[in-house]
């Protein structure tokens, strides 16, 4: 690894392909449409979306219009791109052939008044109460005569809890609501939803986190490979005497003589401060606990007994410790761990 960098994020494109293939198997006949919002969950939309397009992905989802515009230049004219935020400026969607996901009756009207080449999806809220039209608003929507409605979709609130009764309630509500749109393709499931069973697949599924090595149910699935490998270099090694303290707040006090490594990654890079009490890194194949607090640019690890130098790299996230394990140790979810990875960490695609 380059001597000039102190941290790097390796994005394993082969693992990404495997996860995409594994999701396609799990999805059965449904199309798998990758969700690449938030810079492909922090892994870099340019590297990730272009790779998935080469693997055959034909439809993508982003959250923001700006993400859709950026994605269009990355993947060219052919792929379908849906923008989850809703419809703002119909001419902007028309210019780049982006498809709005319409969330309100007003947006629906705006769509019908705008250029007829704008093809759209309609988001129906089946119980999450976040985005989408309510089922009781559907009857009042005028027919989309000259405008193409390509997809009706909804989103599961509790898909990551397979036993939650709300999954079935939303499934039933979705079926009833989509009866109003015969012949229009349907989509209900994100990553976890597509593992709830064939009933949840419909025509298209929208996985994000499982493509990137997380979940589906808050723990790693046997078929899902780690994609993000986050490592950082030791900047300095010091001998610590019993009774000496480490870092801000002197929160860690050595209970014996020990060897300490200071590593070049901190909360400004997205390493959460909350990881410190329970977090581990892997140094030369061994798990070692974090000592003291995570600082802005560095954190410290007990490396007593290991033959390390200031050229040794340690792994924070990857094969040795997967995304869900890191998230659990930090008291959060894999989505937050990935999307917080800072731009200061260079991404490499292998």
Ligand X SMILES: *Cc1c(COP(=O)(O)O)cnc(C)c1O
Interface positions with ligand X (CB under 6 A): 35, 37, 84, 155, 190-192, 206-209
Nearest approach, Cβ of 216 to ligand X (angstroms)?
8
Residue with tokens 């610590």: 240
Tell which residue, 176, 175, 153, 156, has the closest CA to residue 166.
156
Beta carbon nearer to ligand X, 199 or 257: 199
Beta carbon nearer to ligand X, 47 or 159: 159
Beta carbon nearer to ligand X, 139 or 222: 222
- From residue 191, alpha-carbon distances to 145, 173, 267, 309 in Å are 33, 20, 28, 41
Beta carbon nearer to ligand X, 210 or 281: 210
Beta bridge partners of 205: 32
Residue 293 among known ligand-binding residues: no
194 CB neighbour count, 10 Å cutoff? 26
Nearest approach, Cβ of 189 to ligand X (angstroms)?
8
Nearest approach, Cβ of 293 to ligand X (angstroms)?
30
Cis (ω within 30 of 0) for the bond into 216? yes
Instruction: Indicate the residue whose CB is closest to ligand X.
Output: 208
Residue 272 among known ligand-binding residues: no
- From residue 300, alpha-carbon distances to 153, 186, 331, 344 in Å are 46, 49, 19, 19
Helix axes 65-75, 45-54, angle to 10 degrees: 50
Nearest approach, Cβ of 123 to ligand X (angstroms)?
7
Token pair in block for residue 67: 């993400």
37, 41, 108, 335: which one is catalytic? 37
Longest dimension (CA), the chain: 78
Q: Is 248 a catalytic residue?
A: yes
Tell which residue, 300, 301, 293, has the closest CA to residue 272.
293
Write out the binding residues for substrate: 130, 296
Residues designated as active site:
37, 248
Known binding residues are: 130, 296
């Amino acid at each position: 690894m380059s001597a000039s960098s102190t941290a790097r994020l390796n994005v394993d494109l082969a693992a990404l392909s495997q996860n995409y293939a594994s999701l396609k198997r799990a999805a059965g006949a449904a199309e798998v449409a990758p969700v690449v919002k938030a810079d492909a969950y922090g892994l870099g939309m340019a590297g990730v979306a272009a790779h998935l397009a080469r693997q055959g992905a034909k439809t993508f989802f982003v959250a923001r219009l700006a993400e859709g515009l950026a994605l269009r230049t990355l993947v060219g004219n052919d792929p379908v791109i849906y923008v989850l935020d809703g419809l703002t400026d119909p001419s902007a969607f028309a210019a780049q052939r982006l498809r709005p996901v319409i969330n309100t009756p007003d947006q629906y009207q705006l769509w019908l008044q705008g250029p007829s080449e704008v093809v759209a999806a309609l988001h129906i809220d089946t119980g999450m109460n976040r985005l989408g039209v309510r089922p009781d608003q559907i009857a009042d929507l005028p027919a989309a005569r000259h405008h193409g409605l390509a997809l009706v979709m909804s989103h599961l609130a509790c898909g990551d809890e397979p036993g939650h009764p709300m999954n079935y309630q939303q499934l039933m509500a979705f079926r009833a609501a989509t009866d109003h749109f015969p012949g229009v393709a349907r989509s209900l499931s994100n990553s976890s939803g597509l593992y709830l069973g064939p009933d949840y697949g419909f025509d298209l599924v929208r996985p994000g986190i499982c493509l990137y090595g997380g979940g589906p149910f808050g723990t790693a699935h046997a078929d899902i490979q780690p994609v993000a490998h986050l490592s950082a270099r030791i900047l300095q090694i010091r001998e610590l005497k019993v009774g000496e303290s480490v870092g801000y707040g002197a929160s860690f006090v050595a209970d014996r003589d020990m060897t300490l490594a200071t590593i070049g990654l901190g909360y400004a890079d997205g390493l959460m401060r909350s990881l410190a009490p329970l977090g581990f890194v892997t140094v030369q194949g061994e798990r070692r606990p974090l000592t003291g607090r995570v600082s802005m640019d560095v954190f410290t690890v007990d490396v007593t007994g290991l033959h390390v130098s200031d050229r040794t790299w340690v792994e924070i996230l990857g094969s040795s410790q997967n995304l869900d394990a890191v998230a659990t140790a930090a008291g959060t979810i894999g989505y937050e761990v990935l999307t917080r990875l800072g731009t200061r960490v260079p991404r490499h695609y292998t």
